[in-house]
Amino acid sequence: MSHAKTPFSFASLAIALLAAVILAGNACRQETPPQQTGPPEKITIAYSTASNAMLMYLAFANGYFTEEGLDATPQPHAFGKPALASVINGKADLATAGDTPIVFAVMDGKKISVLATIQTSNRNEAIIVRQDRGIMKPSDLKGKKIGLTVGTTGDFFANSFFLVHGIARKQVTIIDLKPDEMAAALASGRVDAVSTWNPTLLQLQKALGDKGLIFFDDAVYTENFCVAAGQDFVKKHPEAIKKVLRALIKAENFVKQHPEASRRLVADFIKADKTFLDETWGIFTLRVTLDQSLLVNLEDQTRWAMKNLLTTGKDIPNYLDFIHVDGLLAVKPEAVRIIR
């Protein structure tokens, strides 16, 4: 019996060695939390209630911000784009948001910093169609009206899906809809399909029943849901950033140890149906990280936005200027895997 030899690549070896050096160096940098003195620091955290910030919900529900010496005020939003806008408009200090709104904010000249990714999934985005509109396969989307929330992860997923299936953006009609407008738009025939995320996705699937069809594609996009803050806040409140990250790491550990209790607490906190969480929980990875894949994703989405004239920006920013690594390096250095 013969065995095929694995191709050897000096470049791959060099990258692997470099990554090992980074991880080894990071592992030596964790600092001891300082003793709390004085009253708790007040912060406002804007977050999406669309089941894509689980660790944030648990940090609130379990009192981890209080344990870290923070007086954190929760500010709920229907999805990540308006939560990030709250930070940009000075109405909140931190926000949870998907990678796509972050790209558009940076391209619009907003001074924000990503502190960490807290949740990822490659099954949280999909296109749901009405079969009675003559859509049975992806190519049938040509010439159809597609509802999506412009400037969000649902927008980028749709474009990536179109690209894979040979559909140009100009071959469909994009209708800008908020998630809570999609059910009525589908029912009335205003749109033939929508590109969105959970829980809206699962709700629409159940509402349409046999009339609906879902197009997933695990390979075209991995959603990165992040915690971000204004750059001025990060500079002025470095200890608060570390406390927030420690609270989120506590939530990460709690999920690992108590998955069932985590689902119950999340359902109570965002007033969601626990049955829905049971159905979708497994599609999410809940970890506090800063990974090289985030950087690649931000750059890819910037190219998409520029190619489709969705932004006036002409150059890809150096996203390292918009990712704050020092906070996570201080509290969990092994979670930082960005080459700088």
Angle at which helix 153-164 crosses helix 99-107, to 10 degrees, equals: 100
DSSP reduced 3-state for 105: helix
Query: Where do the domains of the chain lie, and which CATH numbers do they carry?
Result: 41-122+222-337 (3.40.190.10), 125-215 (3.40.190.10)
How far apart are alpha carbons 177 and 294 in whole angstroms?
Answer: 26
Give 335's pLDDT tier (boundaries 50, 70, 90): very high
pLDDT (0 to 100) of residue 27: 52
Q: Check whether 84 has a pLDDT greater than 70.
A: yes
Averaged over 266-281, what is the pLDDT? 94
Per the prediction, the chain carries an average pLDDT of 91
pLDDT (0 to 100) of residue 23: 52
Q: Check whether 90 has a pLDDT greater than 90.
A: yes
How far apart are alpha carbons 151 and 79 in whole angstroms?
Answer: 12
Residues forming a β-bridge with 195:
127
Residues 71, 275 contacting (CB under 8 angstroms): no
Residues 328, 335 contacting (CB under 8 angstroms): yes
Evaluated on CA atoms 157, 158, 161, 167, the torsion sign reads negative
**247, containing H or E segment:** helix 238-257
Distance in Å from the first CA to the final CA of the chain:
45
Q: Check whether 38 has a pLDDT greater than 80.
A: no
How far apart are alpha carbons 8 and 11 in whole angstroms?
Answer: 9
Residues forming a β-bridge with 184:
none
Q: Check whether 22 has a pLDDT greater than 70.
A: no
Q: Which two tokens stand for residue 69?
A: 């010496």
**224, containing H or E segment:** strand 223-230
**pLDDT tens readout for residues 157-202:** 999 999 999 999 999 999 999 999 999 999 999 999 999 999 999 9
Burial of 136 (0-12, 13-18, 19+ CB in 10 A): exposed
Please report, for residues 124, 126, 166, 178, 308, the alpha-carbon distance to residue 195 in angstroms, rounded to integers and kept in the order given. Answer: 11, 6, 17, 11, 17
**pLDDT tens readout for residues 91-144:** 999 999 999 999 999 999 999 999 999 999 999 999 999 999 999 999 999 999
Q: Check whether 40 has a pLDDT greater than 60.
A: yes
**232, containing H or E segment:** helix 231-236
Q: Which two tokens stand for residue 249?
A: 């790491």
pLDDT (0 to 100) of residue 37: 64
pTM for the structure as a whole: 0.89
